[in-house]
Amino acid sequence: MVPKLARRLGTADAVVVGLSAMIGAGVFAAFAPAASAAGRWLPAALALAAVVAFCNATSSARLAALYPDSGGTYVYGRRRLGPFWGYLAGWGFVVGKTASCAAMALTFGAYVAPDLARPLAVGAVVALTVLNLFGVQRSALAARLIVAFVLAVLAAVVAAGLLGGPALSAPSAPLLAQADTPWDVLQGAGLLFFAFAGYARIATLGEEVRDPRRTIPLAILLALGVTFVVYVLVALAALRVLGPARLGLSQAPLVDTVTWAGAAWLAPVVKAGAAVAALGALLALILGVSRTTFAMARERDLPSLLDAVHPVRKVPHRAELAVGVAVVALVLVADLRGAIGFSSFGVLVYYAVANACAFTLTSQEGAPPRAVPVVGLLLCAVLAFTLPMESVVAGMAVFALGAGVWALRRRRRGSPAA
């Protein structure tokens, strides 16, 4: 009998899981490199990233309602395009998001105590993996508390930035080359997309939500809408206080925003918010990656040892442990910038497959307007190749490795490629 996960999450829980994945450490860090690329056109880059996220979210929501199983695009790809494309999406998600887990853990450590970043990052991964092992409901409760705190911190940043005085006394910053080509805006959007990527966590929990045909699409769109509004307000506040030049050079843009807006007393609170946000993102990421790992193991695209559900807690405990071990290993050796770049590449490929799947839906199956998956697919491909060249090369190499592993396993099992 195929093991099944318990359906315990409602709409509010699913929205919170999505918010904790999106409104994570990205909002505290992504605006600086994006401003460096897009300059004064940062709001345009943010809008473009939101368009891509909306297309991806709409396609994912329609597919998740039709296939409410754990695994997200891995499942959709297998059903709509064939085993290989599903596997490729799942491979990109698991490898890319494992790197993202390491990046979030290292971000947490860097904000709490830079000299002890790696030990703290390892401790965070271990603690959150144990929390997930005790059940998805406890994880959702923790995510709810984290989201509430981070939103309160961001509200304080927005209030200080929009209501306080511009940083007239801020130290001078060298002028950055302002974006004057479409490529600059695309690069900024690609960097900002990293801060949006999180709604997939809702889809990967498809087997654990109640009434998934209604809950998943609603939760995805609600989480994305709240995130977009928050990001717009934060971007406007940071630009008003720092300007694009100072924002692009900042190592801690939101801390600098409150400091130069005349609310330096908020700086420790913002640092705490960044650390907590990183924990929230890490919690949701481990949750999502373990579910995709479990789904791939169930189809024998990953070792069958990982296809197990705890008899009491009804969670994929072996998959969660495997993901935790992999993240700890990456934390010990990873370069933060490289991990983020590679993660972005993998996620954009993952959503490109999701949009391709949505394009095959019929009206009876709840197909979105044709323009949605087409625009989503094209923009995912374009943004993926605006990332730093080393990230693109590494991403393509890892996907080629994944394709080789898939072909080898199929050959050993005597199954024809599809």
Distance in angstroms (rounded) separating the CA atoms of residues 243 and 167:
9
On the 0-12 / 13-18 / 19+ scale of CB atoms within 10 A, 131 is middle
Evaluated on CA atoms 78, 82, 87, 89, the torsion sign reads negative
Distance in angstroms (rounded) separating the CA atoms of residues 55 and 45:
16
The answer as to whether 403 is a domain residue is yes
**Per-residue model confidence (pLDDT) at position 367:** 86
The answer as to whether 330 is a domain residue is yes
Q: How many domains does the chain have?
A: 1
Q: What is the DSSP letter of 9?
A: B
* 8 Å CB contact between 240 and 262: no
The answer as to whether 176 is a domain residue is yes
The answer as to whether 5 is a domain residue is no
Domain containing residue 187? 11-412
Identify the bridge partners of residue 9 per DSSP, sorted by sequence position.
Answer: 209
Distance in angstroms (rounded) separating the CA atoms of residues 111 and 254:
13
- The 10s digit of each residue's pLDDT in 124-135 is 899 888 877 776
Give pLDDT tens digits along the chain (418 positions).
545 555 556 667 777 777 776 776 678 877 888 888 888 888 899 999 989 988 998 898 788 778 876 667 888 998 999 989 989 988 888 888 888 888 888 878 877 777 888 899 999 899 888 877 776 555 566 667 777 888 899 999 999 999 876 544 444 545 444 555 788 888 888 888 878 877 666 665 655 666 666 777 788 788 888 888 999 999 999 999 988 888 888 877 888 899 999 899 999 999 898 888 888 778 777 877 887 788 777 777 777 777 777 666 666 778 888 888 889 988 888 766 677 778 888 888 999 999 999 999 998 888 889 999 999 999 999 999 888 788 889 889 989 998 888 888 777 766 544 4
* 8 Å CB contact between 18 and 326: no
Q: What is the DSSP letter of 209?
A: B
Distance in angstroms (rounded) separating the CA atoms of residues 354 and 377:
8
The answer as to whether 417 is a domain residue is no
Contacts of 77 (CB under 8 A, 6+ apart): 85, 86, 87, 88, 89, 90, 353, 354, 357
Question: What is the CATH classification number for the domain harbouring 174?
Answer: 1.20.1740.10
Q: Specify the 3-state DSSP secondary structure of 150.
A: helix
The answer as to whether 3 is a domain residue is no
Q: From 259, 260, 279, select the one nearest 268 (Cα to Cα).
A: 259
Model pTM? 0.77
**Per-residue model confidence (pLDDT) at position 175:** 47
The answer as to whether 418 is a domain residue is no
The separation between CA 72 and the C-alpha centre of its own chain, rounded to angstroms, equals: 13
User: Measured at the alpha carbon of residue 122, what is the angle toward residues 120 and 128, in degrees to the nearest 5?
Assistant: 100
**Per-residue model confidence (pLDDT) at position 16:** 75
* 8 Å CB contact between 220 and 64: yes
**Per-residue model confidence (pLDDT) at position 417:** 46
Concatenating the DSSP letter of every residue in 46-82 gives HHHHHHHHHHHHHHHHHHHHH--STTTHHHHHHHHT-
Buried residues in 135-159 as b, exposed as e (16+ CB within 10 A): bbbebbebbbebbebbbebbebbbb
Distance in angstroms (rounded) separating the CA atoms of residues 76 and 82:
9
The answer as to whether 6 is a domain residue is no
